[in-house]
Amino acid sequence: MSILPSGLRRRRAPQPRTGAAAVRSTAPSLWPFVLPALAVYVVLYLGPALFGVYVSFMRWEGLGSPMTFAGLANYRRMLADSGMHTVLLNTLLLMVVGLVGIGIVTLIAMLVLQRMRGRRIVRVVVFVPYLISPIAIGVAFGFLLDPQGLLNVSLSSLGLDSLRQSWLGPDLVFKCVMAAVTWTLSGLAIVLLLAVIDSIPASLYESADLAGATAWQRLWYVTLPMSRGVLGVVVTLCLIQLMKVFDIVYTLTGASGTPPYSARTFAVEQYVTMSPFGGRPDFGYGSALGVAFVVLVTILVVLLRRLLRSEPVEY
Amino acid sequence: MAETTTAPRPPANFRAGPGPASRFFGDVLLPGGAKAVLWLWVGFNVLLLLWVLVTSLKTDSEVFDFLSAPSRLAWENFTRAWADSGFGRAFANTVVYAVATAATSVLFAAPAAYGIARSGRKAGGWLLVFFSLGMTIPHQIVLVPYVVMNAQLDTLMVDWVTGWWDQRIFVVAVSVAWQIPFSVFVLEGYFRSLPSELEEAATIDGASRWTTFREVMLPLAGPAVRTVFVLNLITAWNETLLVLVLINDPAKSTLGPTLLNTFGSLQNQSSWGVLFAGVAVVTLPILAVFVWTAGRILEGVTAGVDK
Predicted local confidence at residue B91, as pLDDT: 92
Q: Are B131 and B44 found together in one domain?
A: no
Predicted local confidence at residue A13, as pLDDT: 47
Q: Are residues B142 and A49, on separate chains, in Cβ contact within 8 Å?
A: yes
What H or E segment, with its residue span, contains residue A16? Answer: none
Q: Are residues A48 and B238, on separate chains, in Cβ contact within 8 Å?
A: no
Check CB contact of B21 with chain A, cutoff 8 Å.
no
Q: Which is more confident, B21 or A281?
A: A281
Closest Cα to residue A292, out of A142, A92, A97?
A: A92
CA pair distance A283, B150, nearest whole angstrom: 14
Q: How far is CA A199 from the centre of its chain?
A: 25
* B1 domain-assigned: no
Closest Cα to residue B109, out of A162, A41, A20, A95?
A: A41
Q: Are B202 and B63 found together in one domain?
A: no
* A24 domain-assigned: no
Select from B44, B74, B104 the last residue of a domain: B74
Question: Most B CBs within 10 Å: which of A107, A131, A271, as the mutation test of the B interface?
Answer: A131
* B31 domain-assigned: no
* B152 domain-assigned: yes
Q: Are B90 and B215 found together in one domain?
A: yes
What is the dihedral sign for C-alpha A129, A133, A134, A140? negative
Nearest CB to B234; choose among A52, A131, A237: A131
* A3 domain-assigned: no
Mean pLDDT by 10 residues, chain B (307 residues): 46 54 72 86 89 83 73 80 84 93 94 85 79 76 84 83 82 92 84 79 80 83 83 88 85 86 72 84 88 69 53
Q: Are B145 and B263 found together in one domain?
A: yes
Closest Cα to residue B276, out of B40, B74, B121, B20?
A: B74
- Inter-residue contact A190 to A283 (CB < 8 Å): no
Q: Which is more confident, A9 or B225?
A: B225
Kindly report the CATH number assigned to the domain that includes residue A224: 1.10.3720.10
Select from B52, B74, B96 the last residue of a domain: B74
Q: Chain A: nearest CA to B167, how far in angstroms?
A: 15
Predicted local confidence at residue A22, as pLDDT: 45
Q: Chain B: nearest CA to A134, how far in angstroms?
A: 7
CA pair distance A58, A66, nearest whole angstrom: 10
Q: Which of residues 217-276 of B touch A (CB under 8 A)?
A: 234, 237-238, 240-241, 244-245, 255-256, 259-261, 263-265, 267, 275-276
Kindly report the CATH number assigned to the domain that includes residue B90: 1.10.3720.10
* Mean residue pLDDT across chain A: 78
CA pair distance A125, B121, nearest whole angstrom: 41
Q: Within chain A, what is the greatest distance between any pair of CA atoms?
A: 77
Check CB contact of B194 with chain A, cutoff 8 Å.
no
Q: Are residues A244 and B306, on separate chains, in Cβ contact within 8 Å?
A: no
Closest Cα to residue B214, out of A19, A22, A33?
A: A33
Q: Chain B: nearest CA to A269, how far in angstroms?
A: 10
Question: Most B CBs within 10 Å: which of A46, A112, A287, as the mutation test of the B interface?
Answer: A112
* B5 domain-assigned: no
Residue of B nearest to A51 (CA): B145
The mean pLDDT value for A52-77 works out to 83
Predicted local confidence at residue A256, as pLDDT: 58
Check CB contact of B67 with chain A, cutoff 8 Å.
yes
Q: Are B163 and B64 found together in one domain?
A: no
Looking at the predicted structure, is the pLDDT value of residue A3 above 50?
A: no
Q: Chain A: nearest CA to B169, how far in angstroms?
A: 13
How many other CB atoms are there within 10 angstroms of residue A155's CB atom? Answer: 15
Closest Cα to residue B300, out of B240, B236, B234?
A: B234
Q: Are residues A212 and B55, on separate chains, in Cβ contact within 8 Å?
A: no
Q: How confident is the model at residue A1 (pLDDT cuts 50, 70, 90)?
A: very low
* B8 domain-assigned: no
Check CB contact of A223 with chain B, cutoff 8 Å.
no
* B106 domain-assigned: yes
Q: Are residues B16 and A211, on separate chains, in Cβ contact within 8 Å?
A: yes
Q: Are B54 and B102 found together in one domain?
A: no
Q: Chain B: nearest CA to A157, how far in angstroms?
A: 9
Q: Are B135 and B228 found together in one domain?
A: yes
Predicted local confidence at residue A2, as pLDDT: 39
Question: Most A CBs within 10 Å: which of B136, B172, B180, as the mutation test of the A interface?
Answer: B136
Q: Are B132 and B63 found together in one domain?
A: no
Closest Cα to residue A201, out of A225, A235, A169?
A: A225
Contacts of A291 in chain B (CB under 8 A): 141
Q: Are residues A126 and B42, on separate chains, in Cβ contact within 8 Å?
A: yes
Looking at the predicted structure, is the pLDDT value of residue A104 above 60?
A: yes
* B62 domain-assigned: yes
Predicted local confidence at residue B21, as pLDDT: 66
Orientation angle between helical segments B167-193 and B272-303, nearest 10 degrees: 30
Q: Chain A: nearest CA to B304, how far in angstroms?
A: 8
Q: Are B46 and B195 found together in one domain?
A: no
* DSSP class per residue in chain B: -PPP-SPPPPPTT--SS--HHHHHIIIIIHHHHHHHHHHHHHHHHHHHHHHHHHHTTS-GGGTT-TTS--SS--THHHHHHHHTSSHHHHHHHHHHHHHHHHHHHHHHHHHHHHHHHTS-HHHHHHHHHHHHHHHHS-THHHHHHHHHHHHHHHHHIIIIISS---HHHHHHHHHHHHHHHHHHHHHHHHHHHS-SHHHHHHHHTT--HHHIIIIIIHHHTHHHHHHHHHHHHHHHHT--HHHHHH---GGG--HHHHHHHHHHHTTTS--HHHHHHHHHHHHHHHHHHHHHHHHHHHHHHHHTT--
Q: Which is more confident, A313 or A189?
A: A189
Contacts of B290 in chain A (CB under 8 A): 128, 131
Looking at the predicted structure, is the pLDDT value of residue A310 above 60?
A: no
Predicted local confidence at residue B98, as pLDDT: 93
Q: How many domains does chain B have?
A: 2
Nearest CB to B132; choose among A4, A49, A199: A4
Q: Which domain holds residue A162?
A: 44-308
Predicted local confidence at residue B13, as pLDDT: 53
Q: Are B156 and B70 found together in one domain?
A: no
* B217 domain-assigned: yes
ipTM of the complex: 0.79
* A18 domain-assigned: no
Looking at the predicted structure, is the pLDDT value of residue A273 above 90?
A: no
Q: Which is more confident, B220 or A17?
A: B220
Contacts of B109 in chain A (CB under 8 A): 37
Check CB contact of B134 with chain A, cutoff 8 Å.
yes
The mean pLDDT value for A60-69 works out to 77
Q: How many domains does chain A have?
A: 1
* A217 domain-assigned: yes
Q: Are B160 and B215 found together in one domain?
A: yes
Q: Which domain holds residue B44?
A: 36-74
* A246 domain-assigned: yes
Q: Are B215 and B91 found together in one domain?
A: yes
Residue of A nearest to B106 (CA): A37
The mean pLDDT value for A212-227 works out to 80
Q: Are residues A133 and B149, on separate chains, in Cβ contact within 8 Å?
A: no
